Each structure stands twice: as structure tokens, then as C-alpha cells.
Structure 1
Amino acid sequence: MNDQPRPLADIGVFGGSGFYSLAEEAEAWEIETPWGEPSAPVTVAAFGDVRVAFLARHGTDHRYPPHKVNYRANVEAMRQLGVRALIAPFAAGSLRPEIKPGDFVVCDQIVDRTWGRESTFYDSFEDGPVHIPFADPYDERLRRVVLDAAAEVGVTAHDGGTVVVVNGPRFSSRAESRWHRESGWHVVNMTQSPEAPLAMEAGIPFVGIALVTDYDAGLDEDPDVEPVTQEAVFAVFEANLRKVRTLLDAAIPEIAATVSES
């Protein structure tokens, strides 16, 4: 590991299931936080003039299940590096027949159904109460940049959608999946909370990009659709990882330009 003083980074990226590295030529940095170690060393690489910090949220060997990820340390590590925006690609199950495996959803809302997770930096109010506004979890400027980048590179990206976050590591029952769909939600995931609220507390603009890998527990409209399996999720994500990288390559410079103007 490099033991020189940490560089600042412009943009942070969290990698999800099947997405464990961003660049071949990168410096790895061990970062200490008040909440322990992040899931993995943070790697910093140059994308043109933009320095990008990458962190695999589950660890580089996927050792941490979603309910055991140290989300506070992960977000704090990015804050320490000085990132001005956080991009969070994540695998998701679709709750809608029109949102197909291989599609992206650039989410605009979130519903948290997790429990037992450390979801705030404020373990006490000794300096006074802190209740952050969270009406709009995802930064609208960053959403627009990602949608424009998707159109530029020719990938299907749905504009807006609600992600419901479940605790995992199991998938949903048919009844749960039906409830989520009837509630009007669009995709289901296991890690967007507390990532999104912690980024909001840290003052880092945040955008979540769902890569749809499956139809969750199936579709009532199509009995031939099988419930999700772990093998199917990883296979679809791996098959579409090139699209994730292509989208990030297009979006990162524009995101850096956008946040530098603010």
C-alpha cells in the first residue's frame, strides 16, 4: 500500500455486486475512520483530469453481506478524500414488466425497509440536534448528467423510479414483492440505504444507478418468469458490466464539471 499522504479525489464511486475495480492503474489507500475500516482499500485513478476514488462496498472479495457493510466508514472515507459527488451503481430487481433486465434506472426516490443498520453519523446530539432533510435523496443535477450520458452511449436508462431497500441477504417472498409492486415502487435493492442518507449527512451529492438483473420474485403478468437466484443476478451483472463502465466513462467528466461549478 502507498504510505504517502492521501491525495484528494474529485469523484467517488461505490462498486456493487460483481463490480470490484474501476481502473487497472490505480493507487490503493488504507483509510482510518472513527467508525472503523471501510469495506476495502480505496483506489484512486485518473480519468483524464478527473481523479476518481473507487470503493467496493462489499469488499474486493464480496465478503460483506449487505447488512454487514460498514456504510459509515465507506462514506466517511470518501468524505476524507474530498470527493464532491458520489456515484453508486447497484444491482436491482425490477418490480415492473417495462423495466427489463439489462436496463438502468436512475432513481429519484427511496423507501427504506432495512433494520439494525448504523444509518447516521450522529450517535448523540451533544452539540445540538441534527435532523437532515431527505425529501429528495438523489441529486437532481447528477441524475440529469447520468441520463444524458446514457443517451449519449446508447444504453436504456429510465428517468426516475423508487428503489425499495430490503435488509437481505435473502431475496423477497412473492407476497413481499407483490406488496412492493402494488405500492408503486420500481426496483428493489439491499444497499442504497443507508448509503444515500449518510451521503446526505456528509454533504456529498449522491446519485444511484440501478442495473436491473432480474424480476425479483417473478411477475404476476407472466407466470413463465422465474424468481430471482443469486446465480442469475451475478450472470446478468457480469454480462452488462461493460455497459456500466461505458456509462461511468461518459458521466464522470460531466459530473466533475457540474459539481465544480457549484
Structure 2
Amino acid sequence: MTDTMIGVIGGSGLYQIDGLQDAEWRAVESPWGAPSDEILTGRLDGMAMAFLPRHGRGHVHAPSDVPYRANIDALKRLGVTDVISVSACGSFREEMAPGDFVVVDQFIDRTFARAKSFFGKGCVAHVSVAHPTCPRLGAACVEAARAEGIKVHDGGTYLAMEGPQFSSMAESKMYRDAWGADVIGMTNMPEAKLAREAELCYASVAMITDYDSWHPDHGAVDINDIIRILTGNADKGRGLVRRLPALLGADRAPCPHGCDRALEFALMTAPDKRDPDLLARLDAVAGRVLG
């Protein structure tokens, strides 16, 4: 058994967590660069928690510029065991309406301008992301949302686009009709892949703000409408997070889905061929398997 520590990565509109005791903003150094911001640490209902604003306070990082590797590495260094990603998104489904939440269980990664792995030349590793989120953690988020009175959809496919522009109508229709995506956003990739490499349980809570541009009755995405809905979603998101400590429990058993053992057979480079400089940078992410 280890102690549960929840790490919340807050997206657009969610820049704080209510009710944290002993709250303190902490600067965490990472060999992968500076995280998006300092990390707010404290205890929520007795459970250790860390909150990282993905875009930085004041929204200073565009989706392509978010330091994803530094963010995940910093949370791992703090002792986080379970990561809850909260982000704004558009919907491709009539029944997934603005104001609803979707607990995502699949991704289509269309990003192309971001570093997507901690590993590479000098230490090659391949992890499986066939099931990129943790079912145990996702189920807790669904239960928390329902207890909070939030309309939540259990499962959905998130199309991660590069941005920062929103989709064209042709893209939106393709993602919806041909590819079968349910929601669209700009920030969950490579975040989910990096969390898997860091052996962290990861759940994605997508807060719907709009219907992207496919919907015949809603037209193009309007940033003013997004901000209005975003404000309400952020309040609901904080309520969801407040319920998680009671649902997850302080004593954390090994993940039944193996998220915390994702690197068990992933390293491919022979020990005598591994780059010492890269290994040093991997001390937090892969220390368990690197010894």
C-alpha cells in the first residue's frame, strides 16, 4: 500500500481548487524544463493533493506550448499517484451538450508539434496506450460527477488537435462522421501518453463548452459563448474534485489495470547502451524500472 496523492491538471477556466488546507504554491524543478506554473499543494479532506494550471495562471501557454513533459515529471516528483485532467472541449454529439461532462476513455492524436515521449535515442521504450485512461480512476470521476448533480457521459473518444485555431467545418464533419470522435480539444495529447510513461493513473474529464462547427443550428465556435459556459463548468469541475478523496481513499493498492506498472516490459535499449544523461533525466519518471 502507498498513500494516494491526487494531481489535478486544470485546463481553461479551472485555475484553483477550493477547500485545500495548508495550501502552498511550490516551484518544482524538472530536468524537462519549467512546468506551466508553480504547483499548488495541500490537503483536501486529509488527502494530499497537487494542482497544476495547465496554461499557467493568467492563461499564458498556448496548447502547443504547454510543457507537457515537465508537468508530468513535476507531478511525479511530488509523489502524485493519480492524475485527473480537466479540460474544456467541443462536442460532436447532439446528446453531449454544452455544460455536460464526458469522462474520456479513448483518444485520436492529431497533434504534430509537441514532444510526445520521455524516451528516445539512448533509452528507447514503448508503452501501450491501447487503453490510455485508467478505468478505476475514470469510474471515480463519473461517480463524483453524478453525486455533484453533473450530467456526465461515461466514456467517449477525444480528438486532440494541434490548434490554436478551432476546426474548419470540413474537419469538424470528418472527425464526427468518418472518424467517430465524440469531443475535440487541444491539450490531452501528449499528456495522456506521458502519464502512461510515468506510470501514473490518468483520467480525463472533458467539460463541453460548444458544438465545434459541425452543428447546423449553432454555426462557428463563438469565444464569448465558450467563456460563459466555461465559468459554469469550472464551478462544477471544482465540485467534482472535492468529492474524489472520499471515493479514492487514502490507502492506494496497486492499480488493477497496471497503469503503475506500464514500464515493466517497455524498455528496449540494452543496459550497456543507455545514455547516462538521459537516464539522469528519467530518474522520477522511470526510476522504478531503472533501479
Same fold (TM over 0.5): yes
Runs (4+) of structure 1 exceeding 6 A deviation are none
The amino acid of 1:225's aligned partner reads H
Match of 2:233 in 1: 240
Partner letter of residue 179 of structure 1? M
85, 88, 109: which one pairs with 2:85?
88
Tell me if the contact between 2:38 and 2:52 (Cα under 8 Å) persists in the aligned partners. yes
Amino acid at match of 1:173: S
Partner residue, 2:194: 198
Partner of 1:135: 130
Q: CA deviation at 1:204?
A: 0.3
Measured after TM superposition, the shift of residue 232 of structure 1 is 1.9
Q: Percent identity?
A: 39
**What is the CA distance between 1:150 and its match in structure 2?**
1.8
The equivalent residue for 1:176 is 171
What count of residue pairs does the alignment treat as equivalent?
Answer: 249
Residue in 1 that maps onto 2:245: 252
Q: Deviations over 1:57-86 (max 9, x none)?
A: 100010100000000000001000011100
The question of 1:105 aligning with 2:102 is answered: yes
Cα deviation, residue 137, structure 1: 0.4
Shift of 1:9: 7.6
Query: TM-score normalized by structure 1?
Result: 0.91
* TM-superposition CA deviations, 1:187-211 (whole Å, max 9, x none): 0000000110000000000000000
Aligned to 2:157: 162
- The aligned amino acid for 1:64 is H
Moved more, 201-210 or 22-31: 22-31
Contact 1:17 1:234 in 2 (8 A): no
Partner Cα distance (2:174, 2:103) in 1:
22
In structure 2, stretches of 5+ residues that fail to align are 255-291
AA paired with 1:202?
Answer: A
One-letter identity of the residue aligned with 2:126: H
CA separation in 2, counterparts of 1:105 and 1:135?
A: 19
Q: Is the 8 A contact 1:9 1:44 kept in 2?
A: no
Residue type matched to 2:235 in 1?
R
Q: Distance in 1 between matches of 2:248 and 2:187?
A: 22
Q: Which residue of 1 aligns with 2:75?
A: 78
State the Cα RMSD in Å.
Answer: 1.5
Aligned to 2:11: 16
Name the amino acid aligned to 1:215.
Y
Q: Mind listing any 5+ residue stretches in structure 1 that lack a counterpart?
A: 1-7
Q: Aligned AA for 1:11?
A: I
Q: Which residue of structure 2 aligns with residue 117 of structure 1?
A: 114
